[in-house]
Amino acid sequence: MSSVFIGGGTPSLMTGAGMSRLLTGVRAAVTLAQDAEITMEANPGASNRERFAEYAAAGVTRLSLGVQSFDDTLLKRLGRIHSSAQAQDAVKAAVELFPEVNIDVMYALPGQSREMLERDIACALACGTTHLSFYELTLEEGSVFWKRPPEGLPDSDLAADLGEIVHDRLRDGGFVRYEISGYARPGHMCRHNRTYWTFGDYLGIGAGAHGKVTLPGGTLVRTMRPKAPGRYMDGVRSGRFGAWRRKVSPRDLPFEFMLNALRLLDGVPAGRFEETTGLSLAELEPALSSLRDEGLMVRDRGILAVTGLGRRFLSDVQERFLCCAAE
């Protein structure tokens, strides 16, 4: 196994001893690569330097901090519990203790101006991390913002302009954009995330965890553990480790593959589609041909990747693969 990702929730509420027990259990259950990437997420408002040192000693090699913004006004609008000062202190400690550090930052926030974004980017670049993830705020169904959209959200044109500012400033700061939201210094791409985007398999363990497993014979199964921690722990205590399972039909595979692979700016080798789905790439050819003619996908038939124009309309490109495979 090449990577472990300990996500949230808020894993940084765990003690150092708890993290050590968790990773000892992982190593007992699976064979980890000697250079395995072991990431954990942390909230700047629920962590400190001493705890970070304990996580590093337990074997965590990569810390991902949910900073979201370095602007106290914006943090308050987002309902975050940490301040800008706490965020900067947390990042400083992380950079000193872990070989790999990512910070998550959001843009297109309610009331955010170009100048405010420029300041957030400057703060992020000054932190000295190896990886930056910049996400455009989206109103997801079921979220608080979905139910009560905040005032001052930028329109689509301003949001696009803000995205261009992010790309240009991070490029100038020495970061390479390798995925729609992912920027890394050379040699520091997130291994675990690339497993998702290249349609690799991964186990989902813990309350609410999702997994993707290819069974012998090629059937692809998606899994999800019970979301409620109490229900999940009751199952663990009783020896039941059940998970909701869904077999992905061949008809759905093209869309699921492209939903992930086209997030990578360099795309994936065309052979990766057949390798991971068991389907013939020829079944996608009508859609691929049309998208190439429209300038939305690259013409190199050895690569599955969108063009710069295709990135601007990525959701539309991905939707073109909804009904590509035979029944």
Say if residue 60 is in the same domain as residue 112.
Answer: yes
Say if residue 104 is in the same domain as residue 217.
Answer: no
Res. 325 pLDDT band, cuts 50 70 90: low
Eight-class DSSP state of 21: H
Residue 294 domain flag:
yes
Q: Which of 17-26, 89-98, 187-196, 242-251 has the lowest mean pLDDT?
A: 242-251
Q: Residue holding tokens 């913004």?
A: 69
- We report the CATH number of the domain holding residue 302 as 1.10.10.10
CA 280 vs CA 58, 242, 254, 270, 296: distances in Å: 44, 33, 10, 11, 22
Q: Tell me the HSE value of 6 on the side-chain side, using a 13 A CA sphere.
A: 25
Say if residue 175 is in the same domain as residue 239.
Answer: no
What's the N-to-C CA distance of the chain in angstroms? 34
As given in the structure block, the two tokens for residue 66 are 């949910």
Containing structural domain, residue 295 = 253-319
Res. 43 pLDDT band, cuts 50 70 90: very high
Say if residue 38 is in the same domain as residue 125.
Answer: yes
Structural domain count of the chain: 3
As given in the structure block, the two tokens for residue 3 are 């990577």
Give the global pTM.
Answer: 0.91
As given in the structure block, the two tokens for residue 60 are 């965590």
Residue 325 domain flag:
no
Cβ-contact 104, 68 below 8 angstroms = yes
Nearest CA among 101, 98, 114 for reference residue 66: 101
Bridge partners of residue 212, in order along the sequence? 202, 222
Q: What is the mean pLDDT of residues 304-316?
A: 94
| Angstrom distance (rounded) from CA 213 to CA 140 | 26
